Amino acid sequence: MKKILVIGSLVAMVSIARAQDYTDAVRYSEHFNLGDARYSAMGGAFSALGNNHSAILDNPAAIGVFKGASFEFSLNNGMNLNKTTFLGATQQNRAYLFNGNVGLLFKVDLPKNELNAKYINFSYTCNRVNDFKSNNGFNVYNNSSSLTDDLLYDAQHNNINNVGAITYNALNTGLIYQDKNKNLISDFIHNDSLGNTVYGPYGLNQIQKLVVSGRINENSFGMGSNFNDKFYLGGSLNISTLEYTEKDSYSEIDSKDVNPTFNSFNYTRTIKDKGTGISFKMGLIAIPVKDLRIALSYHSPTVWTIDRETPISMDFSYPTNNSSHFDTSYVYSYNLYSPGKVVAGLAYTIKKTLLLSADYEFQKYTNAMISSSDNYDYTSVNNDISKNARIINNLKFGAELRLGPVSLRGGAAFYQSPYSYYADGFKDYRVSYSGGIGLKNENFYIDMAVVNTSVPSYRYIYTDNAGATLHSTSKSNITNVILTVGLKY
């Protein structure tokens, strides 16, 4: 008979409820080129160009480049194809994406003035700056270790107030339990009659499914001005909204009856975040010589207030026809200080026919910080951010060939991984290649773009009984098709 530890103390539940780690700070700080069709087709390299609603994302001076009122609407349809490999086995999963962007701008002419300011433009844009939707997982056979090895180590080496939330559930279901000498053991690691540690027998189907949904939308209220067609200034107040849901299901099944005391267990952990963030941006665009534009903009840190709900459940069964189930659920709030960004850009026009542009982004993810309004201590989490995050350098390039009313476009973007455990080589970059076409007249335009993005990543699964960390590696291939319709008046 297993001696199950019933440890449902309130103190322990409050302590282990905080599920933050450095990945939360990184996840909500990343923004990508998910704008309208022209912006996306040119790799998002628009900070020096302006006259585009999505360019306001990178540089609010873009507002001042518009010559008149404008309205546009974009639809983005896509698919995320993910291939996950764990212990040599690869599994493929798909997730489908759909979102929209909108932009509105109007112009106020100015009387002659000493600053040579021609007009002031006011804008509102709503852009999807991150789409989290993905679906990945694996199904493998493992005859050398179990996730319970890691949970047992956690229970043996930590006070109950400091164990992980999954370990907490394992103790309450009997997945980890006490022997007659009150030593913590599992069905795979226990002591023999002489007190020696015995491992196994192992032989498990390990199945994980990770389904993620959600997005970050940025609502930007901005203004910009044109100074004699040589200099543009702009600023914006940005209110961002966040929704994120992550459902992580993991199972181990003794399908071949290898272990006489174990049948299976399954845990499901769901993270549900909803939040609001506020920030400001300011920028400039200058034309020092004909056909050349240079740009510089600053994005302030975003201050987020986020509400989190984390339900966790575990089911465990063993051969004596016994089973157990335990649920925990945590609801709390936290604050996130997301690091600011500096963007610099260049653009050059050749004979009013060929347009070339490039952007550089600098962001210091080590400056991210998590805090709480209820005096919870996030010092260890913030230390992990400093240790595991890094400074990133992103590059974006774009080109546009104008053939009368028709424009052909292409671009590329390279986003360095913000995680320090990746190598500095090319393989740790998020890479996007894009192309598109546009048609416009004096008052109307329609654009289409296709963007293909490759995203490498890996995920910690557990540490086995030999102290080796096991990771799954993933490669996401995301294809987006974007259609934009706009009016100028």
pLDDT digits (tens, 9 = 90+) for 282-310: 999 999 999 999 999 999 999 999 999 99
Complete DSSP assignment for 367-436: G-EEE-TT----HHHHHHHHHHB-EEEEEEEEEEEEETTEEEEEEEEEEE-SBTTS-SSGGGEEEEEEEE
The answer to whether residue 345 is domain-embedded is yes
Q: Which domain holds residue 220?
A: 10-488
**What's the CATH number where 247 sits?**
2.40.160.60
pLDDT of residue 426: 39
pLDDT band at 6 (very low <50, low <70, confident <90, very high): low
Q: 424-433 long-range CB contacts below 8 Å, 24 or more apart?
A: 427/456, 428/456, 429/456, 430/32, 430/454, 430/455, 430/456, 432/32, 432/33, 432/43
Q: What is the pLDDT of residues 229-278, one digit of tens each?
A: 999 999 999 999 999 999 999 999 999 999 999 999 999 999 999 999 99
Domain count, the chain: 1
156 phi/psi in degrees, rounded to 5 = -75, -25
Mean pLDDT for the stretch of residues 144-162: 90
* Contact (CB, 8 A) for 175 and 150: no
d(CA 23, CA 37): 30
Asked whether residue 10 carries a pLDDT value surpassing 50, the answer given is no
pLDDT of residue 107: 94
pLDDT of residue 14: 45
Q: What is the pLDDT of residues 390-414, one digit of tens each?
A: 899 999 999 999 999 999 999 999 9
User: Which segments of 10-159 are extended strands (E)?
Assistant: 70-86, 89-109, 117-131, 134-142
Q: What is the pLDDT of residues 465-482, one digit of tens each?
A: 999 999 999 999 999 999
Phi-psi sector, 25: left (phi>0), alpha (psi -120 to 50), beta:
alpha
d(CA 445, CA 442): 8
d(CA 425, CA 126): 34
Q: Which of 8-17, 196-205, 303-312, 324-333 shows the lowest mean pLDDT across its residues?
A: 8-17
Complete DSSP assignment for 335-351: EEEE--EEEEEEEEEET
The answer to whether residue 1 is domain-embedded is no
pLDDT of residue 421: 67
Asked whether residue 487 carries a pLDDT value surpassing 90, the answer given is yes
pLDDT of residue 2: 61
pLDDT of residue 422: 59
| Eight-state DSSP code of residue 160 | G
pLDDT of residue 3: 55
pLDDT of residue 9: 46
pLDDT band at 12 (very low <50, low <70, confident <90, very high): very low
d(CA 92, CA 188): 30
d(CA 215, CA 134): 11
The answer to whether residue 5 is domain-embedded is no
Asked whether residue 48 carries a pLDDT value surpassing 70, the answer given is yes
Average pLDDT value for the chain: 91
* Contact (CB, 8 A) for 434 and 78: no
Complete DSSP assignment for 294-337: EEEEEEPPEEEEEEEEEEEEEEEEETTTEEEEEEEEEEEEEEEE
pLDDT of residue 403: 96
d(CA 98, CA 81): 14
The answer to whether residue 420 is domain-embedded is yes
What letters, b where the CB count within 10 A reaches 16 and e where it falls short, cover 9-42? eeebbebbbbbbebbbbbbbbbbbbbbbbbbbbb
Asked whether residue 341 carries a pLDDT value surpassing 70, the answer given is yes
The answer to whether residue 418 is domain-embedded is yes
- The model carries a pTM of 0.90
Q: How far lies 288's CA from each of 99, 186, 228, 234, 398, in Å?
A: 38, 71, 12, 18, 21
pLDDT of residue 375: 82
* Contact (CB, 8 A) for 5 and 151: no
Q: Which of 149-158, 272-281, 444-453 shows the lowest mean pLDDT across its residues?
A: 149-158
d(CA 259, CA 319): 9
The answer to whether residue 4 is domain-embedded is no
Structure token pair of residue 142: 């493992």
Give the three-class secondary structure for 256.
coil
Q: Answer with the residue of higher pLDDT: 47 or 459.
A: 47
Q: Answer with the residue of higher pLDDT: 305 or 33.
A: 305
Asked whether residue 321 carries a pLDDT value surpassing 80, the answer given is no
Q: Answer with the residue of higher pLDDT: 390 or 346.
A: 346
pLDDT band at 192 (very low <50, low <70, confident <90, very high): confident
